[in-house]
Amino acid sequence: MSSRFCHCSFLHLLIGLFIFGSTSAISAHENEDPTIKTMEAFSGYPIHESNSLISDFVSSLSVETQTLQNQIDELSTFSDSPAPSVTRILYSEKDVLARRYIKNLMGLAGLSVREDAVGNIFGRWIGDEPELPPVATGSHIDAIPYSGKYDGVIGVLGAIEAINVLKRSGFKPKRSLEVIMFTSEEPTRFGISCLGSRLLAGIETLANNLKSTVDGQNISFLDAARSAGYANDQDDLSSVFLKKGSYSAFIELHIEQGPILEEEGISIGVVTAIAAPASITVDFEGNGGHAGAALMPTRNDAGLAAAELALAVEKHVLESGSIDTVGTVGILELHPGAINSIPSRSHLEIDTRDIDEKRRNTVIEKTHQSATTIANKRRVKLSEFKIINQDPPALSDKLIIEAAEAASKELNLTYKKMISRAYHDSLFMARISPMGMIFIPCYKGYSHKPEEFSSREDITNGVKVLALALAKLSLN
Ligand code: GLV
Ligand code: MN
Ligand code: MN
């Protein structure tokens, strides 16, 4: 038997063991398969001494919870707002320091690190068959103003720890395993969510638009990227694009950001789909004027138009009749912003989402109609109604769902299948790779605020499920 043949039969057997669970493991052992010795040599499992490969391997997975918590705490200090809040905006000084911290941890975990032109950071553990598409995991570390320290961070620091868990257990991956820290999942600075993962997914319009995109201070995207050490010598960001099939699987660990797991006392959420988000910006213009002298019938108040549109968004969302339709006016700015001046300009940013894309699009259409009607009625100009993004939902891949479920079962953790109402980089990774997500509970479902919290036990569970799922997927 050639060694190549040995490897193949071993791999198939091991994949079977992992995907189909411990029954196969026991029967394989009982049959005294001669490839078992090779299996041990290849993967690091002490299986010939064990009655159950899976239970031995699973019990060998140990998370260094205190170290991980220290890292989470330390990363949270790279913030532009005081603790317990975290504010870490793309390409800011604190973001650059936090990136350095992540690259250092990747290096300490023995990963080979690379960065692309917008600062997506990749740390790869080379597998035994490096020519195969790797399995990837990861999330983001940017944080919206005055938010918490777990959103995204768990999926980056937790992923590096999952690699360490597998290394300590003696596991050797067949497919390479890659941790990705995505650039700017949050839209704070340039108004574009999941900027890094959208580019990885090859969205050309975004790559083109970014050449002329500026932030609120009129700093261009490219200048900001360069100040952080990226996009040097290139305006063309198409180098960031990845081909479809670059990864055999992508799986993201994240806090739930909703209350379901905690309320139901369930340890793990296995995500089956990610809701479809859209963002819209709206501008109204009126004449402004003196808050005392201009009489009410003569006014065309851009601020009141914005207020009326904000209420219309709520109305249209509620008209859907589904609890899954949501809408938020998270930004409402008035110009000139003086108590004794009638607003002459108003600017709204509207976020609306649904697991049903058609229903979400209906909210957008109705909101547009309302904006036009309100502008006419109040004699203001609707100077902009711009759909920034109108993304379709993404479905998780069956094999990745199964890997996360099997991992939860083998770890004796309760789990439930659920949808993600928040968006994630996974939404875009799904365009180039089979995708899945693992959720852990968070306190009262709080997120995007300083009270965001996940217990050490829940984080440890999530990291173990991720490690085991990565192991399974790497052998696939
Ligand atoms: C991600 O941060 C989201 O807003 O869903
Ligand atoms: Mn977030
Ligand atoms: Mn997030």
For ligand 1, whether the C-beta of 161 sits within 6 Å is: no
Atom of ligand 1 nearest to the CA of 257: 5
Q: What is the pTM of this model?
A: 0.89
For ligand 1, whether the C-beta of 423 sits within 6 Å is: yes
d(CA 366, CA 309): 11
Is it the case that residue 43 has pLDDT exceeding 60? no
Determine the distance separating the centroid of ligand 1 and the alpha carbon of 476, expressed in angstroms.
31
17-26, 87-96, 357-366: least confident range: 17-26
Sign of the dihedral through C-alpha 228, 229, 230, 234:
positive
pLDDT for 180-223, tens place per residue?
A: 999 999 999 999 999 999 999 999 999 999 999 999 999 999 99
d(CA 177, CA 56): 22
Pick the CATH number of 276-390 from 3.40.50.720, 3.30.870.10, 3.40.50.970, 3.30.70.360: 3.30.70.360
pLDDT for 63-97, tens place per residue?
A: 999 999 999 999 999 999 999 999 999 999 999 99
* 65-275+397-474 and 276-390 agree in CATH topology: no
C-alpha distances (whole Å) from 141 to each of 90, 120, 241 are 9, 11, 21
Chain position carrying tokens 């993600």: 420
Boundaries of every domain in the chain: 3-59, 65-275+397-474, 276-390
Task: Give the tokens for residue 156.
Answer: 């980056």
Pocket test for ligand 1, best of 140, 147, 184, 257 (most atoms within 8 A of CB): 257
Atom of ligand 1 nearest to the CA of 277: 5
Quick one: DSSP state of residue 150?
A: -
Determine the distance separating the centroid of ligand 2 and the alpha carbon of 278, expressed in angstroms.
15
Specify whether the CB–CB gap between 174 and 10 falls below 8 A: no
Residue 156 CA: which ligand is closest? 3
pLDDT category at 31 given cuts 50, 70, 90 is very low
Task: Give the tokens for residue 370.
Answer: 């309302």
Specify whether the CB–CB gap between 385 and 371 falls below 8 A: yes
The CATH architecture to which 65-275+397-474 belongs is: 3-Layer(aba) Sandwich (3.40)
Residue 152 CA: which ligand is closest? 3
All residues with CB under 5 Å from ion ligand 2 = 151
For ligand 1, whether the C-beta of 422 sits within 6 Å is: yes
